[in-house]
Each structure stands twice: as structure tokens, then as C-alpha cells.
Structure 1
Amino acid sequence: MSIQSRPDISFTVCQLSNHLKEPNIDDLNWYNKTVKQLKTEDSVPLVFNKIPDLDKGMKLLTYSDASFGNLANNGSQCGYLIFLADANETVKNIISWKSVRLERVCSSTLTAESLALFKAVDHAMLIQQILKQLMGSVNAEIKIHCYVDNKGLLELINKTKDPTEKRLITTMASIRESVDRQEIEVSFIPTKKMPADVLTKKSASGLVLKSYLEME
């Protein structure tokens, strides 16, 4: 199994990899179930279509999500997907994704979601700079549009409320600064339409993500 060709099983691969040193029967059953699933279901090819009208600009569509305390020792999983699209979003190519355990124990879902967005923005900005260098123009227009499914997080970003956790203040200040500088834009998307949901929890369906990958 590879997270490099099947983003929809990234969470499973991440968790099973973490349990390699001390696997148990549940891990073996999970592994066998996943292998059986991959053998029986239709594959979803990763198709990369040509981006039209590059001179009109591009977008990096970033979807981030997190689960709270669903891992061993109260750990939380975060995941994000980044799509490269044209200015009108008629073509969307997935170019990066990640499912990973957050480095610190979070005190709430809001904290986990904030850290997931922070990681996604950091990665998107790196890709943005790489693309500009490849295009030979640091002034090329490549907008970063982020999507989250937590309304509380959006309220923090829009400054309608402030973080109460001290450790979250710095993270939120960085995200707010990026928004104020118009380096990124953050919008809400319902959980049922969030493609990154499958990257953060075992029970999530991969159908939403697959629908994004099948878009032409």
C-alpha cells in the first residue's frame, strides 16, 4: 500500500506504520480488511490535466481537517490536500497531500483544526514559491484558497472571537497575519463535502475525495 498513489488510505497507512513495532490482532485485521478493500474496489487514477491560461493566474486550493484525541495517548491526526487549479477553477489537479499525527496533544477540536490549517498553509506557501521559480517569475499570480469545516476556526480567523488557549495564540496570530496580508483566503465547507476528512479518521468515507479526483 502506498500513500503516494492512494491518498484515500493515507490515514490507514500512517496508523499501521506507527504500530509496526508492537502490532496486535486488531492491527492485523485492519490491514487485511484494507487489502481486501483495495482488491475489490475500483481504482481511482490520478489524472493531471493541463492548466489553461497560465498568464491569467493559478490557485492552490487547500483543504485541511483534523480529528481530536482519536489516537493513542490522546493524540490527534491532521490531514490536508492541495489542488492546483486555473484562475476559474475549471481544472483541478491534486499535487500534494499528507496525513500525520500532530506533534503535540491538543486540548480541543478547535486547536487540532487550527494546527492542521497552519501546516496546510505552510506547505501551500512552499509550493507557491516553487511554482513561481519554475515559471521564472516571482510576481506570477498564484492565490492560496483554504477550506475548513470548523465554523469556530473561521470565527477565530475573522476575529469575531479570540483564542482562549495560550498555546494557540501564536498559531492563530500567524494565520490571521497571512489573511490580513491577503496571502491566503479561508472559507468554510461542510464536513460532508470535505475531501480531507478521510485523511484524519478511520470511519470516514473516501467517496468524497474520490469524487474530487474524478473531476475533469
Structure 2
Amino acid sequence: MDLEDIQAYVQAVEKEAKSWQDWGSVKALSHAEAQKVLRDQVLSKRILRTRSCFRDKSKGLAKLSAKCRVVALGHKDPDIYRLNRECATTNRTSEHVHFVVLTAGSNGEFGTSKKRWHGWSVDASTAFLQGDLSDAERSLPLYILPPNDGVTALTQCWKAPLYLVCTNIYGLRTKTVVTDSGAAPDSQLISIIIVYVDDFLGAYRSDYDVTEVHKAFKWGALQNFEVGKTVTFKGKQITLRQRANHRYYLHVSQVEFIGGMASGKIPRGSKLDEPLTPAQRAEFRSVTGCLQWVAGQSRPELSAVNSLSNHGGATTLSDLEALYEAVDFAAATKENGFVIPDIPVTKASIVITFSDASWANAENCRSQCGVLVLLCGPSVLEKPSPAMLLDWRSSRTQRVCRSTLAAEASAADEGCDRGAYVNMFLSELLFNEPAHKVTPRLSQLAVTDAKSLYDCVISDNPNLTDKRSLVNVRAIQEVVPGSNFHWVPTFLMWADGLTKASKELQQSLHEWLQCPKVTLRAQTS
């Protein structure tokens, strides 16, 4: 490194040391105090080594942005097996529920209140230092040695021989917890926050004073949702947009991540049915990992090809080529993702699950199942209506299904299960009661394109020789009564694109995600 870069990292070390000092994370011990600890047979075993971790936040794509983190080697923590290491983090469904609340709230259509909602995003500055050590979990003090590296040695920081740990620090298996009590006196939700490591995504009703939340931590750069302004959270670019009729909707994509994905080409003259070489297998795993992240966050249409291309040891160059084509498709459409349309979210909203299966088209004769969980307004019962995407899944069945009916029943059972979870999640927010008490309060529908499954589910006494499939059917009936189970033709079954590695279905599902609509009834001209 040149002198300018070294100086940048020196400044990063000094900034990190100041953060520790500001939060009172450690207390420097004198040489006499340090010697006393080192000579103690018990306390000397409670000393952790640390190291300074450096990185360039710009990833070499722009001017150096040096960052330093001093991290304790927490795997050597003497209390590691006594600590509560549980630390909940947001899942995809939580994010989508947040998207739904923000979108409907921006139009003043969440719950019974007509008040508008506002969104914000921010990261907690040095979040892991903003917490206390639990006396209940640690009966004895903990110490750390200062980091020992060439860059740190160029500073006047970390000069004490030993430090007493006073608060939570990087590397320990403890956690900092934030909670948000978002209920108004009228028992309506007024604020919602989801947390991913040290990134916060929040939304609040206009009559709520959000400053009490903003005072809870020391924050980095606060971003408020504004029309046309992109906010990045968990690698996704989220943009609040406005239609010509002044109604708001949300657009979610992964432009930055997809832009950094690298595609490839199969060597000319290669036989596509040849198994992968060790180098090609490593490339296959890399591409699969990237596509899995994208498909699981913002691009459901890429799920099927990513799942069905993996045949274990029998994976061929043809499968790798299919993944390269999926990467090329993602790159060509990186500005797109999915849209959360402007739909009111009230106690009259309807949860709808689309489920489909392709029988025996996966490895070892297993079937590929696809599920979409959507939220619609009550008008969906009468006419084509816009839908909010809440969850999806493309995966292989856990067992070998004996027939198409068995595969479809397995997929529908999975769909009803996921739909019930979303239903209870939203019911808890709308009715202000814990999910285990509220039960699914919203109306729930299930949709299939398999007429044989439809006939079984609407029957009071389905006659099936495959008793395992009968269990699936009875499980579906427990969640969705026959009157709420719908059949649609295949061209209206949007989960079909999650069950087959088809470019046509991939394109069709991609286009649908830009303007998702559900049709349950045939339209007469």
C-alpha cells in the first residue's frame, strides 16, 4: 500500500478506538492491575485475544473507504456454553409484511385508520457496542488483550497491556436487543420496525412521534422514504413510487447485487451431457449460491431453474449452461424485481395461495412444487384484482409422489401452511392480539389448476387409494373449506413458473411480478 492508503487505515483504527471509548466498552488496566490478573489462576483463563479487521467499503470500485473493526476471538469465550446466543433476525415474510404495511399506509389504507404512514431506514452506528453485559450470564469479569498488528502500532491507541470488558463488544456471542411497542391507545398499530443485524427498516403512522425510536440508538445516515428515492435494505433496492392518480406503490429489486454477478460460457465444442470437472463444479456452486440469494429475495422466477439444475454428482455442463442463461436473464432485467401494488390492507383483505407441482421432474423421481402467497382485496371474488406478494417457495417434495394428484396435494398442503402463517401474522397486526390467540381472522383461499385435487378437496368424503395424499387433503380442508378452494386453468396458475425450468414460464412469471393480478372467475364479455 502507498502512504496515503496506510494513513487512511490508521485513521480508521483511531475512529474505531474512539467508538469503544465513547461507549465505555472497555477499561484500560495499569501494568500492576494487568499483572494481578495474569497471575490469577482463574482470571488468567478469562482473557481473550483480539484482532483488527480491515476492509475497503468501496470494494476497490471507487476511492478507498477504509474501515476497521476490533473483534474479540469469541469462540474462546470461557462462558460460551452458558450464554443465551439466541438472536432473532427478520425473515423474508416479515419484510414483505412491512412492505405491505408501508404501501397501504402511504395511501392511508392500512387498518381502520385513514391516517398516512411514513417509512424510514437507518443503520445503528457501532451497534454491537450499544449493549450491556448480563451479570446473570457472567459471574466473573472478562478481559481482552489489545490488537497487535502493524497498522494499529502506528497509532497511539490500544497501548494498555490489558482491558476489562464493560459492555458488549464485537466477537462475543451475546446480543443487543431493541423492541418497539407500536400500539396506540385505540389498540391500532402505529409503528413497525424490522431489524437485520444493525440495519433497521421502519414505518410509522403520521400521528406517532417517531423521535423516541430515533433516540434509542446512535444512528448512521437516516433515510426517509420519498417518491422516487431508493432505499437499500438487506441488499435490496426499495423505491416508493407514485402513479398518475397520485396513489403510491412499492418497487423492490436487487440492481446492485445482480450488476455484480458474473456470467460465463461453456467451452466451445464441449458435450453438454458431460459431467462437470472439479473446477466447473466449484463454478456451479458459486453461480447457484448467487442465484439462490437473488431468487429468494426479489426474483422468484429464477427459483425453479436454480433448484432443478442441481443433480448432485450427475450434474452436467447442460445444467451449468442453464444457470449461465438465468444469470444473463437476471442481468438483462436487473432493474426489475417485483411490485407491491396500491391495495388497501384491512380486516376484509383476503389471503390467497397458489400452488402447483410438476410430477417426477426432479432428481430421484421427486416432484417440484411451487407456492405463491398473496394478499388481495375482497373484489378478487368478483373480478381480476391486483395482488401483493407475501411469500413464495420452489422446492422438491420430501417424498416420492406416486401420481400427479399426490404431488399437487403435497404442494397445496405446503401452500395452505404458509398461507395460514401469513394470515396469523397479519391478523395479529390488524386485530392487535397475539397470533397464538387471534387465530387466522382473514379470509383465506387456495387455488390449484389440478381438477382431480379440486374434486377431492371440495368433497366431504374424498375416495383416495393413496392414503398419504388423503392426509394432505384433510390438512388442506382444515385450513381452507371447500367453498374457498378454487380451480383455475393453467394459464392463470402463476405458481407454474416455480415448478419447471422453462424460459417461457420464467418470462411469463417475470412479467406478472411487475403488475401482479389474480383472476378467480371467468370474465364474460
Do both share a fold (TM > 0.5)? yes
- Per-residue deviation, residues 40-94 of structure 1 (Å, max 9, x unmatched): 3475332223432614x11112110000001121111101001112222444111
CA distance, structure 2, for counterparts of residue 70 and residue 53 of structure 1: 38
CA distance, structure 1, for counterparts of residue 345 and residue 333 of structure 2: 36
Say whether the 8 Å CA contact 1:83–1:95 is kept in structure 2: yes
Matched, 1:79 2:370: yes
Cα 1:91–1:28, aligned 2, differ >3 Å: closer, same or farther?
A: closer
Matched, 1:201 2:497: no
The answer to which of 121-130 and 80-89 deviates more is: 80-89
Q: CA deviation at 1:142?
A: 1.3
Q: Within 5 A, what are the aligned runs for 1:1-216?
A: 1=291, 2-3=294-295, 4-16=297-309, 18-19=310-311, 23-41=315-333, 43-52=335-344, 54-55=346-347, 57-89=348-380, 90-135=385-430, 136-137=432-433, 138=438, 141-159=441-459, 161-180=462-481, 185-203=484-502, 205-215=505-515
Q: CA deviation at 1:212?
A: 3.2
CA distance, structure 1, for counterparts of residue 509 and residue 372 of structure 2: 10
Q: CA deviation at 1:215?
A: 2.4
The answer to which of 73-82 and 6-15 deviates more is: 6-15
CA distance, structure 2, for counterparts of residue 117 and residue 27 of structure 1: 28
Cα 1:178–1:32, aligned 2, differ >3 Å: closer, same or farther?
A: closer
Say whether the 8 Å CA contact 1:58–1:141 is kept in structure 2: no
Say whether the 8 Å CA contact 2:445–2:486 is kept in structure 1: yes
Q: CA deviation at 1:26?
A: 1.7
RMSD: 2.4
More helix by share: 1
CA distance, structure 2, for counterparts of residue 154 and residue 176 of structure 1: 11
Query: Per the alignment, in what secondary structure is the counterpart of residue 340 of structure 2?
Result: coil
CA distance, structure 2, for counterparts of residue 139 and residue 112 of structure 1: 28
Cα 1:20–1:75, aligned 2, differ >3 Å: closer, same or farther?
A: closer
Identical aligned pairs, as a percentage? Answer: 29
Say whether the 8 Å CA contact 1:193–1:208 is kept in structure 2: no
Say whether the 8 Å CA contact 1:194–1:208 is kept in structure 2: no
Query: Per the alignment, in what secondary structure is the counterpart of residue 80 of structure 1?
Result: strand
CA distance, structure 2, for counterparts of residue 30 and residue 37 of structure 1: 11
Query: Per the alignment, in what secondary structure is the counterpart of residue 369 of structure 2?
Result: strand
The answer to which of 3-12 and 97-106 deviates more is: 3-12
Say whether the 8 Å CA contact 2:416–2:479 is kept in structure 1: no
CA distance, structure 2, for counterparts of residue 140 and residue 110 of structure 1: 27
Larger RCO: 1 or 2 (CA < 8 Å, sep 6+): 1
Say whether the 8 Å CA contact 2:357–2:408 is kept in structure 1: yes
Give the AA of the match of 1:197: D
CA distance, structure 1, for counterparts of residue 327 and residue 312 of structure 2: 16
Q: Which runs of 5+ in 1 are unaligned?
A: none
CA distance, structure 1, for counterparts of residue 335 and residue 313 of structure 2: 30
Cα 1:35–1:178, aligned 2, differ >3 Å: closer, same or farther?
A: closer
Cα 1:43–1:65, aligned 2, differ >3 Å: closer, same or farther?
A: farther
Say whether the 8 Å CA contact 1:78–1:102 is kept in structure 2: yes
Query: Per the alignment, in what secondary structure is the counterpart of residue 145 of structure 1?
Result: strand
Q: How many residues align?
A: 212
Cα 1:15–1:193, aligned 2, differ >3 Å: closer, same or farther?
A: same
Cα 1:9–1:53, aligned 2, differ >3 Å: closer, same or farther?
A: closer
